[in-house]
A and B are shown apart, each in its own frame.
Chain A
Amino acid sequence: MSTTLTPESQSSGPEEADGPVLDRPIYTDVARTPRRTPAPRVRTGGVTPELVLHLVSAFAGSMALTWLVYERLVPVAGAMGFWLCWYVTFLVMLAAVSATTLDRMSVIDRVVGAVVTTCGLLLVGALVGIVVFTALRGKDALGHWNFYHQTTAFIGPDASLDQGGIYAAMIGTLEQVAISVAVSVPLGIATAVYLSEVRGKLARLVRSVVEAMSAVPTIVAGLFIYSMLILKFGQERSGFAASLALCVSMIPVVTTTAEVVLRLVPGGLREASLALGTTQWQTVRRVVLPTARPGLITAVLLGVARVIGETSPVLLVAGSTSELNYDPMHGPQLSLPLFVFNQMRLPLDEAIQRAFGAAVVLLVLVVFFFAMARILGGRPPGRLSRRQQRRLSGRFAAPTAEGTL
């Protein structure tokens, strides 16, 4: 209870209280009473011995039963079937064992919990499997230094791994993704601002178009750029054309994510800004976009993640080469997915190892981008810059302390 009881609330009386009526408060100020040994902390939730027992017994029982049926009684074989049968038996047994101590609802709760946990583990397992498998297959190629700064332009397909590399492909991927980001991010965020802030008459139509765009297969995007830019306007195949094809996939991802993020900005902030007498553009630029910045970075990341591994649109419009080409505007340009695709088709061990090596580099690149964006975008908001802080602390002769938080 607060110490500032008003007369009204005192008079509205102790007779309404459920507990015993006290004529004066009980003194429980911890700071002033003598020290006692602290009460032990209560364990809540977590794994109980009973749960472990149930899981282990269900696991052992289902294993034994499935083995008996599968290996001894029924004349079928196969690892897939074995594990499926085991899992179903396990769930049934877990339910049965749990039913000895729990009621029906708790049994269902435990079984569903087991199923959900399994799904999560399967997904993580699959992901780890892909990464580990790729890394293992590519490790021979990755071990050679030349892999990172040479190209496969002047070597034969059967050259050993200490010749040739993915330098041209890395340059191509970096340039093409950079151009796609430079085109898609302003367009996508501007569209999102239109959809969530301006809310013009066309908003519904634009939203439908964007949604339809995100469903366009990437090969169709590639065909579109191919027929427009290359057939119609007579441009040569180039990294720039590939970037445009990637934009078709990237813009809807950036737009839809950015719109969701902008809608999460509390309406109270917009009203606060408008009530100060600002224009809508100032409100968007100084309040809405900065507030949504971490989410907007996620939007950009999702867009990059969507296109960095795209092969099919690039295949159509980037042209075919294995030479190094720094100029994205002219001439065919290689990229990492394209390199993987080309090498994978060759029936040679070295080529396939190069393909996996390039795939690992692609994975590392994605992780690197994500980490960079998180670091750049994760600066805690709302602080003055160092220069402003210095100026203020000089003026008011008091530290604008970082440590007060």
Chain B
Amino acid sequence: MSIDTLATDQTTHLPVASAPVPAALVAERVSAWFGDHQVLSEVDLVMAAGKVTALIGPSGCGKSTFLRILNRMHELVPGASLAGQVLLDGQDIYDPALRPIESRRRIGMVFQKANPFPTMSIYDNVLSGLALTGRKGRRATSEHDELVERSLRRAGLWDEVKTRLGTPGASLSGGQQQRLCIARALAVQPDVLLMDEPCSALDPTSTRRVEETIREVAGEVTVVIVTHNMQQAHRVSDHCAFFLAAEGQPGHIVEQGPTEAIFERPQDQRTNDYVNGRFG
């Protein structure tokens, strides 16, 4: 490849800073199994573009499995299978013509446990999405620097790390590592960001920073968050879906709707009990 084509490659493939368009994510009749054990049954959920959707419910009701189905991480577990459709802007991400890595590039994920790459610096961690997908190019450019700064600012981490971008990502505190993971996920400019209990291991201050980050990126990115913290769901989300699994039964959505409605006027007694902390 010549220098010229390399250069154009970089400019065309680097995510553009302006006008990222959030996309709606629609799950239709999603069921999931681990081997013969069904964990989700017939879940329908619309995750509106640019809004924050919270998935709440007690442990073991299939929230995380559902979240992992949304960017094709579920199938990485040996023996896992699923049914139904997940539509991103009207296109099924499980369409056989679409490769999983293309869906995963558009639908980013932040995990329960902060997992920055231990062999990379803070700087390289942020850019790892580009480097790993071969979109970074060989030469370091000022575009990369700008992308790193922008992503870290959006994740609310820039001021804390701007003087030590060259140090290992693992040298940060737990809360900072989690925000680094958010910056890493945002750097590839995803349309959707999935978060699997991102604050369950964080202290209240870090949790507040992450929640501020979620509120800031909402609008540009569609956010789906699994949380066990009712106050958090109340604070950050626009929509809520309450998952529940009866003893030995697969999980399903009991009730969904605007967050205010779920918390103030739940239609189902079980939802009422759960959001008010009477069980779970």
Contacts and interface: CB of A to CB of B under 8 A. Distances in A.
Interface of A: 2, 4, 199, 266, 268-269, 271-279, 282-283, 286-287, 290-291, 293, 380-384, 388-389, 391-392, 395-396, 398-402, 404-405
B73 A268 contact: no
Closest 9 CB pairs of A and B: A382-B168, A277-B105, A400-B166, A290-B119, A275-B109, A384-B166, A278-B132, A277-B104, A276-B129
B134 A282 contact: yes
Given A4-B204, A282-B133, A286-B128, A381 B104 contact: no
Contacts of A398: 162-163
Given A283-B132, A290-B117, A384-B166, 4 more contacts: A271-B76, A272-B115, A277-B105, A279-B101
A383 B167 CA distance: 5
28 contacts: A269-B115, A271-B115, A272-B109, A272-B117, A275-B109, A275-B111, A276-B108, A276-B129, A277-B101, A277-B105, A277-B106, A282-B133, A287-B119, A291-B118, A291-B119, A293-B119, A380-B168, A382-B168, A384-B121, A384-B124, A388-B140, A388-B166, A389-B166, A392-B145, A396-B163, A398-B162, A402-B167, A404-B164
What band does the interface of chain B fall in when counting residues whose beta carbon is under 8 Å from A?
35 or more
Nearest to A396: B162
A266 B140 contact: no
A276 B128 contact: yes
A307 to B, nearest CB: 29
Interface stretch (B181-189, B233-241, B256-264): B181-189
A274 B119 CA distance: 16
B123 interface: yes
B167 A276 contact: no
A392 B132 contact: no
A158 B184 CA distance: 71
B71 interface: yes
Contacts of A2: 203-204
Contacts of B115: 266, 268-269, 271-272
B142 interface: yes
Contacts of B249: none
A269 B115 CA distance: 6
B163 A399 contact: yes
Given A396-B162, A405-B167, A272 B119 contact: no
A110 B204 CA distance: 47
B23 interface: no
Contact of B133 (A272, A277, A290): A277
A199 B104 CA distance: 22
A400 B164 contact: yes
B36 interface: no
Contacts of B71: 275
A393 to B, nearest CB: 8
B235 to A, nearest CB: 12
A181 B113 CA distance: 38
Interface in B173-192: 181, 184-185, 188
Contacts of B181: 272
Contacts, number: 135
B32 interface: no
Contact of B188 (A268, A276, A282, A381): A276
B224 to A, nearest CB: 13
Contacts of A275: 71, 73, 104, 108-109, 111, 185
B253 interface: no
A389 B165 CA distance: 8
B131 interface: yes
Contacts of B163: 396, 398-401, 404
A273 B142 CA distance: 24
B166 to A, nearest CB: 4
Contacts of A380: 168
B91 interface: no
A274 B104 contact: yes
Interface in B48-105: 71, 73, 76, 78, 101-105
Given A268-B113, A276-B184, A277-B188, A401 B133 contact: no
A402 B164 CA distance: 8
Given A399-B163, A401-B163, A272 B145 contact: no
B201 to A, nearest CB: 12
Nearest to B129: A276
B171 A405 contact: yes
A282 B111 CA distance: 20
B167 A286 contact: no
A291 B188 contact: no
A382 B119 contact: yes
B250 interface: no
B118 A381 contact: yes
A272 B78 CA distance: 17
B221 interface: no
B123 A382 contact: no
A287 B133 CA distance: 12
B202 interface: no
A383 B131 contact: no
A286 B131 contact: yes
A400 B111 CA distance: 28
A2 B206 CA distance: 13
Contacts of A276: 104-105, 108, 128-129, 132-133, 184-185, 188
Nearest to B120: A382
A278 B145 contact: no
Contacts of A404: 163-164, 167
Contacts of A381: 118-120, 168
Contacts of A391: 140
A384 B123 contact: yes
Contacts of A400: 163-167
B198 interface: no
Contacts of B124: 382, 384
Nearest to A287: B117
Contacts of A389: 166
B251 interface: no
Nearest to B205: A4
Nearest to B148: A392
B170 interface: yes
A287 B132 contact: yes
